[in-house]
């Protein structure tokens, strides 16, 4: 008696449809939203990594001190030199210290500091966390029972949020000194007279807006760099993309935040 061997019917699996750009964009927004919420959930819950926060503040602040000092001085010097011919046409070179202080304290100091930090600190955070991700160091920390997110992400974001305002304030004063060098060389203005003219037009709103900008910029640099590095993939190529994405995205967001904060503060003037 012949026996027939029945072969199971094989169904071909349908290949998943490629996600569109719009779908990928909204998925990325959702992931970023979860990442930020996770930061606020874990950053202010004990145990706190004070030693790591202090170390990261050192990495962000002290390691950027020389570059910030040189850039701030050059910005004040060049801005004063470029503004003199325009004011000289109207015989208003005496207004130069006031113009320098308003431009630097309201816009240039926080913005220049944030852009430098985005290039130096943001790329460093993205590359460091990205290399830890692709070498599975973060996975090993999760398996061992530690909290890598709190130790790696929260400390870096808090460090940039705390340190960037200090660097921005320092940059502002260094830029004002750079302006003084140019003004004293051309007009012979004394230091006390120059400083009095610098601080006369500034108001409490100017200092407050500059501080808020610096805090927002610092948080943006830290959270963008940490997100790019913490979620990097594809080996060494992913590390490079994480560092590059941290810089480009942070700079783009800094300009957007600058526009929004300037618009909001203008309502209170």
Rounded Cα–Cα distance for residues 67 and 158 (Å): 21
- The residues, ordered by sequence, that sit 6+ positions from 175 with a Cβ below 8 Å of its Cβ are 72, 73, 75, 76, 79, 100, 104, 108, 109, 112
| Residue 144: DSSP 8-state | T
Rounded Cα–Cα distance for residues 221 and 233 (Å): 20
Q: Do you know the residue count of the chain?
A: 269
- The residues, ordered by sequence, that sit 6+ positions from 223 with a Cβ below 8 Å of its Cβ are 35, 36, 39, 157
Number of helices (H), then strands (E), belonging to the chain: the values are 12, 0
CB 168 within 8 A of CB 109: yes
Reference 81, options 173, 189, 176, 183; nearest CA is 183
pLDDT at 93: 74
Q: Give me 106's structure tokens.
A: 């309201």
CB 86 within 8 A of CB 192: no
Rounded Cα–Cα distance for residues 211 and 171 (Å): 12
CB 229 within 8 A of CB 124: no
Rounded Cα–Cα distance for residues 125 and 202 (Å): 35
Rounded Cα–Cα distance for residues 115 and 220 (Å): 11
Per-residue pLDDT of the chain (269 residues; tens, 9 = 90+): 444 444 454 444 454 555 567 887 778 788 888 888 988 888 888 888 889 889 999 988 888 888 899 999 999 899 888 888 877 777 777 788 888 888 888 888 999 999 998 888 888 888 888 888 888 888 888 787 778 888 888 999 999 999 999 999 999 999 999 888 888 888 878 888 888 888 888 888 888 889 999 999 999 999 999 988 888 877 777 788 888 888 898 999 999 999 999 888 888 76
Helix, strand, or coil (residue 135): coil
Residue tagged 């061992």 (tokens) = 144
pLDDT at 11: 43
- The residues, ordered by sequence, that sit 6+ positions from 244 with a Cβ below 8 Å of its Cβ are 123, 126
Gyration radius of the chain's alpha carbons: 25
Q: Give me 40's structure tokens.
A: 């606020």
User: 215 burial class (0-12, 13-18, 19+ CB within 10 angstroms)?
Assistant: middle
């Amino acid at each position: 008696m012949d026996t027939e061997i029945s072969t199971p019917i094989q169904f071909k699996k349908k290949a998943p449809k490629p996600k569109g750009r719009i779908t990928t964009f909204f998925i990325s927004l959702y992931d970023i939203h979860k990442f930020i919420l996770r930061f606020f959930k874990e950053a202010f819950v004990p145990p706190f990594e004070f030693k790591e926060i202090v170390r990261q503040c050192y990495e962000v602040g002290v390691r950027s001190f020389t570059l910030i000092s040189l850039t701030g001085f050059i910005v004040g010097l060049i801005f004063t030199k470029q503004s003199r011919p325009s004011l000289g046409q109207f015989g208003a070179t005496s207004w130069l210290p006031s113009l320098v202080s308003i431009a630097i304290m309201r816009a240039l100091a926080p913005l220049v500091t944030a852009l430098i930090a985005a290039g130096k600190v943001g790329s460093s955070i993205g590359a460091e966390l990205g290399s830890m991700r692709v070498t599975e160091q973060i996975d090993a920390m999760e398996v061992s029972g530690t909290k890598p997110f709190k130790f790696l992400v929260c400390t870096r974001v808090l460090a940039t949020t705390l340190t960037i305002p200090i660097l921005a304030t320092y940059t502002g004063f260094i830029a004002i000194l750079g302006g003084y060098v140019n003004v004293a060389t051309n007009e012979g203005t004394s230091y006390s007279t120059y400083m009095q003219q610098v601080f006369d037009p500034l108001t409490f709103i100017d200092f407050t807006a500059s501080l808020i900008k610096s805090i927002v910029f610092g948080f943006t640099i830290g959270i963008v760099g940490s997100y790019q590095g913490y979620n990097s993939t594809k080996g060494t190529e992913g590390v490079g993309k994480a560092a590059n994405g941290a810089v480009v995205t942070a700079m783009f967001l800094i300009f957007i935040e600058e526009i929004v904060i300037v618009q909001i503060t203008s309502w209170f003037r």
